[in-house]
Amino acid sequence: MPGYRRILLKVSGEALAGGGAFGIDAERVKALAREVGDVAATGVQVGLVVGGGNIFRGLSAAAQKMDRVTADHMGMLATVINSLAMSDALEQMGVQTRVMSAIEMHQVAEPYIRRRAIRHLEKGRIVIFAAGTSNPYFSTDTAATLRALEIKADIIAKGTRVDGVYDKDPLKFPEAVKYHRITYLEVLSQGLAVMDATSIAMCQTNKLPIVVFNLNTTGNIMRMSMGEAVGTVIEDVTA
């Protein structure tokens, strides 16, 4: 029995790179698509946002003196490439998808229209939201939060390299302590690098829970979708 009616799954662009630092690993994309498709087959409505860091990261380019607005737009286009890769992998498995871009490019993706996106979800299609919010200075975490709120998702599921939220980076500090539940305010006050502060604040204001889990553990997307205790839940104490 699904734990949620509608979810917004956020994955980094690096998740598509597999073992490489850059680019798209076709086998990794297929494996991820298979898991997402299995979740959709249970009746859960799935929205997906994929970052672009495996191709181009706007913030890093801006740090190298590239114009920030230009760099961010390049990063948005990188998310479109990743979204098309995910769409192709899902479609080849017989799963219907729609790529909806915040930057209009009619030849490759539908323009993002909220009501149309919701209708696609209701018809069982996986909707892949590309090109961020179309605005510079906003991360794909913020874009995922915005889309989740617009489509009235029950939860944002953020797939990462670790199995939840820790008090410090567990990949660098073996003594790091994992939180099973934590509040938005605690994440913000402790400066925990889960999602950017804008995203966390938006979720807090709108009481949208976040679950952070290990994307690299096969089956975790399904377990999370079924409502199993996977990773860390971020929400208000009273939620």
- pLDDT tens digit string along 136-187? 999 999 999 999 999 999 999 999 989 999 998 888 998 999 999 999 999 9
pTM over 0.85: yes
Write the CB contacts of 21 (distance below 8 Å, at least 6 apart in sequence): none
pLDDT band of residue 238 (cuts 50, 70, 90) is: low
Report the sign of the C-alpha dihedral through residues 236, 12, 157, 213, in that order.
negative
Distance from C-alpha of 83 to C-alpha of 144, rounded to nearest angstrom: 13
Domain segments of the chain as ranges: 6-234
Report the sign of the C-alpha dihedral through residues 218, 133, 60, 187, in that order.
negative
Domain 6-234 of CATH type 3.40.1160.10: yes
Report which secondary-structure segment, H or E, holds 17: none
